[in-house]
Amino acid sequence: MTAILKVDNLSCRFGSLWAIHNVSFSVERGELLGLIGPNGAGKSTLYNLIAGAVSPTRGEIIFEDQRVTNLRSYEIARIGVARTFQIPKPYRQLSSVENVMLTAFQHEKSVGGARAFAAEILTDVGLKDYIDAPVTNLTVGLLKRLEVARALAMRPKLVLFDEIMAGLTPTEVGTMTKFVGSLPARGITVIWVEHVLYAIMKTASRIMVLNRGEIIADGVPAVVARDPAVVKAYLGEEMAFA
């Protein structure tokens, strides 16, 4: 298995603050990598760097053996990297299916075809009842699922999930966890930032911990969970995992 994503000495500075500092890692094709860390650790910045929304100060990002470090976000989207936004950013004047159609247009050029495909994806994530609803009618939990649908409608090779569980009931968390877990089998590599730790600890094959812009742990969930540095970083947070 070759690495689908390789991040090499990546650093990003805002003013005098290093949001990301000398981060290096690689992600194998078909992996489900969990990315955790306390607030302010730099997870969103890392996503923004990979997805092309922000340019790094130093370092390289390589996707499928192609140097993508300074590509714009729409260029990165077009080569197969999808992302969700931590605070959902739906197109407010459109309906749910239209929101998803936008991303579907990447590979489905007809309006009718895109709509049908988008409706399918929405059904997959459990939004069947909201297909034609204006997105302003949706609650935060539903909007997060919409984010997932939008990302998947791209038929991405790599998807970056950003806290998609927030606001979900325990049952919904269970369904969503199973769903995310099924993605690698469909050929989609997943990086998953999440605060709902038990979901991610159960499903991910590997966990990376980010703190203050640096990777402090990288390995199998059980090992990472017991790592004293990780526990210290979370300082007082109880980590419950199945």
Partner 1 sequence: MSAANTHQSQSTRFLFWPRRGSQISIFEMAIFAGCIAVAMLGLSQSLKDIAVLTFLWAGLALAWNIAGGYAGLISFGHAAFFGVGAYTSTILFLRFGLTPWFGIWCGGLIAAGFGAALAIICARLRGPFFILSTLAAAEVVRIAAMNWASLTGGPEGLSIPPVAGVTNMVFASKTAYAVMMLVFFACVYVVTKSLEGSRYGYYLYSVRDDADAASAAGVNPVLVRTAAMALSAGLTGIGGSLFAQYFLYLDPTFLISPDLSFQFALLAAVGGLGTAIGPILGSFLITPMSELLRSYLGSHAAGLHLVIYSALLIVVMLYFPSGIAGAITRIAGRRGKS
d(CA 52, CA 34): 20
- Start-to-end CA distance of the chain, whole Å, equals 29
Q: Counting contacts by CB under 8 A, is residue 77 touching partner 1?
A: yes
The three-point CA angle 212-29-160 to 5° equals: 45
- Determine which residue in the list 9, 132, 174, 229 makes contact with partner 1, applying CB under 8 A: 132
Binding of partner 1 by 111 (CB under 8 A): yes
By CB under 8 A, residue 136 contacts partner 1: yes
Q: Does 54 bind partner 1 (CB under 8 A)?
A: no
Listed in sequence order, the residues at least 6 apart from 4 whose beta carbon sits closer than 8 Å to its beta carbon are 27, 28, 29, 63, 64, 157, 158, 189
The yes or no reply on residue 92 touching partner 1 (CB under 8 A) is yes
Task: Specify the stretch interacting with partner 1 by CB under 8 A; choose among 14-22, 124-132, 167-175, 196-204.
Answer: 124-132
Q: Which two tokens stand for residue 45?
A: 């910045």
Which residue number, 133 or 173, has a Cβ lying nearer to partner 1?
Answer: 133
Q: How many CB atoms lie within 10 A of CB 21?
A: 19
State which of positions 154-173 bind partner 1 (CB under 8 A).
154
Pairing verdict, β 32-36 and 189-193: parallel
Size of the site for partner 1 (CB under 8 A): 36
If one asks whether residue 232 binds partner 1 (CB under 8 A), the answer comes out as: no
Q: How large is the C-alpha radius of gyration of the chain?
A: 18
- 91/241 with CB nearer partner 1: 91
In whole angstroms, give the CA distance from residue 62 to residue 194.
Answer: 24
| Contact status: 90 vs partner 1 (CB under 8 A) | yes
Report in angstroms the alpha-carbon separations of 228 from 180, 196, 218, 235, 242. 28, 20, 13, 10, 19
For partner 1, the binding residue among 51, 180, 193, 199 (CB under 8 A) is 51
The minimum distance between CB 160 and partner 1, in angstroms, equals 10
Interface positions with partner 1 (CB under 8 A): 51, 53, 72-74, 77-78, 82-83, 85, 89-95, 98, 101-103, 105-106, 109-111, 114, 129-130, 132-134, 136-137, 150, 154
